[in-house]
Amino acid sequence: MIRKIGEYEDMGDGTLDERFKKTIDAMKRGVEWIYQGVIKYDNLLGIPDLLKKMSEGSYIPVDIKSGMGMEGDELKTNNKAMSYLKHGESLGIHKGYKCGIRNEWQIIPSIRVSDALFIRRNNIFPRLIENKVGAYTTDTMHRVSMKAGVNQHALIASYYNSLSLAFAEIAGRSHGGGVLELMPNEAEEIFLPYKEEYADLLNRRLNRKKQ
């Protein structure tokens, strides 16, 4: 759908606060389409796939299709795909909350490959993982994109220290009611002492695994 809507501005890079400020700025300038914008109200935060400007100047969130699956008439003429969907419906998958609020329950609204992955629900501690295999994510919370000039290996290695993991516990354990779960607001509370030279630590670890 991104290719069909014409001009848009991408708010996907930066911290949540930076993205929020860029989103508000884009709204003030009357940008017609805003992609991956951040909106806040009190302690609530949302990251809609698209924000569309209405004729009176307000904005509404829009559900987008990933462009990685079939839909409409194309889907109906594919017997194997229809059989697969009917099997899913027989299991009641289409009645789940996430599937139930979609126009077509089988279409995932947002699929993206990010530089790294941050696992938000955890048993022992949250993991920041380099996405070397180019895995797709359907949850914006799991996506980590690197700013220009940031050494990816250094950032990931810098995360694994007692200070960062302690802040993850403080921010995430209470939010999850005993389960360690981190949402965007909680993840931003984690202190990360980034050092460029830490990249060598991760590189050496990866090299040992290859041997």
Q: What are phi and psi of 113, to 5 degrees?
A: -100, 125
11, 35 Cβ separation under 8 angstroms: yes
pTM for the model stands at 0.56
Q: What are phi and psi of 59, to 5 degrees?
A: -125, 145
Task: Round to whole Å and give the CA distance between 53 and 51.
Answer: 7
Beta-carbon-side half-sphere exposure of residue 180 (alpha carbons within 13 Å): 15
DSSP assignment of 180-204 equals EE--HHHHTT------GGGHHHHHH
SS3 label, residue 207: helix
Each residue's pLDDT, cut to its tens digit, for the chain (211 residues) gives 344 556 788 888 888 888 999 999 999 888 988 988 888 877 677 888 888 888 777 888 876 554 445 556 667 778 888 899 999 999 999 999 888 887 788 877 777 788 899 988 887 788 898 888 888 888 877 888 888 888 988 999 899 889 999 988 888 776 556 678 888 778 888 898 888 888 887 667 656 655 5
